[in-house]
Structure 1
Amino acid sequence: MRALGPALALLLLAGPLPATAAEAARAMRGPCEDGSCTWFRELSRSVAGASARGTLLRLQIRWWMGKDREGSGEEEGRQEILYVLCSGSRPALVGREGRRWRERPLDPGEPAAADRAAAIAYGWICHGILPDARSGPALADLYRSRPATPRNGRLLQRPEDVLR
């Protein structure tokens, strides 16, 4: 395994990159399959907490499926609050599950097929990596040779509990 270059190491250690207002308002395309693409738009962002494990961001997101590569169909999308743990060692999404919250571990460098859209959103939210970018680091460069993590994650009382 080769070591990360100094620029990549600094990017990884720097934590979440703030998106400009124009970038955050932009609709981002995730994976496309069978003529339909997953899209998301970040509506708001705030820091919910931080620890040695990473930075927890609280986001208001709108997700939708579009029949074309132009992002149509947003008005039929679903808006939700999502927490994202930006972490160099244990990245995760935290979402509502009944009255509790569930940590959903991610492997952004080699996401499972079901996690591809979440990994693309994670790369944009935590590292400013645009999907299909022709330059700059890729998530696979930042998250190499990670050990497998449990897919179910753990149930949490509060989203901030993911920081422990």
Structure 2
Amino acid sequence: MATIEVRKAHAGDEAALVELRAEMFRAMDVRADDDVWRENAHTWFETRLTGSAHGIFVVTENDQVVACAMGFVRDAAPSPTSPSGGDVLISNVCTLPAHRGRGHGSAALEAVLVWARGTGAGRAELVATLEGRPMYERNGFETRSAPLMRAQLH
């Protein structure tokens, strides 16, 4: 029987978090084979596993990290949907392919949502793949009419 644990990520989880991030990019049809971003992501995770602005959570199965989700508090101006300002961007919600369909992604998302509610932010936002939308909708996320747009600055 598998031992499942949902916990806050800690030192030593960085490599697994980078691999899950690469898997997320593959699911979004984004090339993720460049070592430069991986090295930078490893360092990024190292410096953000502690502190209150980032909530990074993992799901382990028999002590192996198999899924994750993270959120970070953004300094957003007050708005009708977040009257006090600020929000939480949720990202990197991913499960290794061999471990999908067991609720690990949902468990990681729930952990980050509990953390997000404790930040005092008024709303959470994320970018969803088509496959992930049903899970997010079950957790109260709605598709908005204004599409995400992006421009490369470098």
Question: Shorter-normalised TM-score: what interval?
Answer: 0.3 to 0.5
TM-score (norm 1): 0.32
TM-score (norm 2): 0.33
More strand by share: 1
